[in-house]
Amino acid sequence: MAGLPRFLAGRLIKAIVILFAIVVINFLLVHAAPGDPAMVMAGEAGAADPKFVEQLRQQFGLDRPLLEQLATYVSHVATGDLGFSYRQQQSVWDLLLARLPATLVLTLTAFVFALVVGIVLGTLAAVRAGSVSDSAITVLALLAYATPIYWVGLMLMLLFSVQLGWLPAFGYETVGGGLSGFARMIDIGEHLLLPALTLGMFYMAVYARMTRASILEVRDMDFVKTARAKGLSHGAVVVRHVLRNAILPVITVAGVQAGHLIGGSILIETVFAWPGLGRLAFEAVLQRDYQVLLGIFFISSVMVIVFNILTDLIYSLVDPRIDLAR
């Protein structure tokens, strides 16, 4: 792993370049969209006369040329200042930091669930290819793959919260429950279960299908024959030789999709009233809260980049042929 520091340094430089591009493009895109926060605010205040709007514009710097606004924004971001939300009367950083943990808990849980269950189901299906359990898993995966996730969320909510009453229907934790320590974690866990399941379902299906296909391909490779010729049992051949090789493409795809999960969480957080970044984004869009929106874009870009670097690192651990120094 002599190449690790060099690899990380290289990726860091690339990441900064990419982030700069993302900040600029996002800024321009947001400003290209119709609607102006000053108009919206003035409209809400019931005082949409041009003078007031002009005053708001001046206050927020919206009257300056776009390039100047861009330069100001970029220089602020470079110093770690993501701006101030006049709607919420809070700095964007504080808003993001308050919402980030909830989103991370939700997306990571969904991701781990999707990966573990997907790989296990895919393996079972592949090992018994052509059997009833294979067909059942394939159909299940197809359903999870094809069903819109918000609908799945609503149905799960109906079943487990409304009909059966087993799990809470929305929120991050029981409001006013006064719980702390372990009891609070259990409470959060109960709230987490349905949204995480809903969010992870689609990805679980993707990983199950990929794992199955990949195992069926690897299973016929020469080194698997070598492993069998050693006298290894069927299970040992699958776990030690087939699965390790079959999982490589799944890791690649999972790494790319880990970033997508944040996008997916916007819907889920809205359906389950989960107080995370996704819902913040939803609200910010409705309110034309540019600063918050840009902050969310920025944070999710950072997360995608971090996930990609992590994927490369994991890949190099699993596959010795990948030389990070190259």
Q: Give the amino acid at 142.
A: L
Can you give the C-alpha Rg of the chain in angstroms?
24
What backbone torsions phi and psi does residue 28 show, to the nearest 5 degrees? -65, -40
Q: Does 16 bind another protein (CB under 8 A)?
A: no
Which of residues 245 and 308 has its CB atom nearest to another protein in the complex?
A: 245
Q: Measured between alpha carbons, how far is 43 from 56 in angstroms, rounded to an integer?
A: 12
> What's the CA gap between 22 and 28, in Å, rounded?
10
| Number of residues written out for the chain | 326
Of 132, 146, 229, 286, the one binding another protein (CB under 8 A) is 229
- Which of 79, 163, 180, 233 is close enough to bind another protein by CB under 8 A? 233
Element (H, E) at 90: strand 90-91
Short-list 305, 310, 306, 307, CA closest to 324: 310
Which one, 190 or 319, has the nearer CB to another protein? Answer: 319
The reply to whether 6 sits near another protein by the rule CB under 8 A is yes
Residue 2 touches another protein, criterion: CB under 8 A: no
One of 241, 272, 291, 304 touching another protein (CB under 8 A): 241
Report if residue 238 touches another protein, rule: CB under 8 A. no
Contact 99, 300 (CB under 8 A): no
DSSP 188-256: HHHHHHHHHHHHHHHHHHHHHHHHHHHHHHHTTSHHHHHHHHTT--HHHIIIIIIIHHHHHHHHHHHHH
231 contacts another protein (rule: CB under 8 A): yes
Which residues between 154 and 183 bind another protein (CB under 8 A)?
none
Select the residue interacting with another protein from 103, 109, 138, 245 (CB under 8 A). Answer: 245
Is 244 among the residues that bind another protein (CB under 8 A)?
A: yes
Nearest approach in angstroms of CB 280 to another protein is: 36
Annotate each residue in 209-228 with x if it binds another protein (CB under 8 A) or - if it does not, as one string. ------------xxx-xxxx
| Residue 241 beta carbon to another protein: minimum distance, rounded to whole angstroms | 5
Residues at the interface with another protein (CB under 8 A): 6, 9-10, 14, 221-223, 225-233, 240-241, 244-245, 318-321, 323, 325-326
